[in-house]
Amino acid sequence: MEVLAIIVFVMAAGLLALAATHWLEKGFLFNNAYIYASKKERETMDKKPYYRQSAVVFLLLAGSFIAIGLRTLTGSGWWAIAEAACLIGACVWAFVSTARIRKKKEEKQP
């Protein structure tokens, strides 16, 4: 079980690193809006809201992985609640922030 916990904590550390780089707006943008955009759209798009969106999602996913690791080590089912809360939070944030980004984009267009 300890080996599994170590693997999960390493994955959480990777997600925290991704969250940090996205917060700093550095590196490749792991966001569907960017990934599926054409080359022309990528050059003109405002990447800041997408970096922020991805940073928050990666942070919440890291929290979920940390909860999984702690549940593995302690055997306490209470960590499952924290894990679920982080996963639900990541999904809700992704949908709400996408709607906000689209709304702001529409307001800017004439």
- For each of the chain's 110 residues, which pLDDT tens digit applies? 799 999 999 999 999 999 999 999 999 999 999 999 999 999 999 999 999 999 999 999 999 999 999 999 999 999 999 999 999 999 999 999 999 999 998 888 76
Give 3-state DSSP helix, strand, coil % of the chain, rounded to 5.
80, 0, 20
The pLDDT value recorded for residue 108 is 80
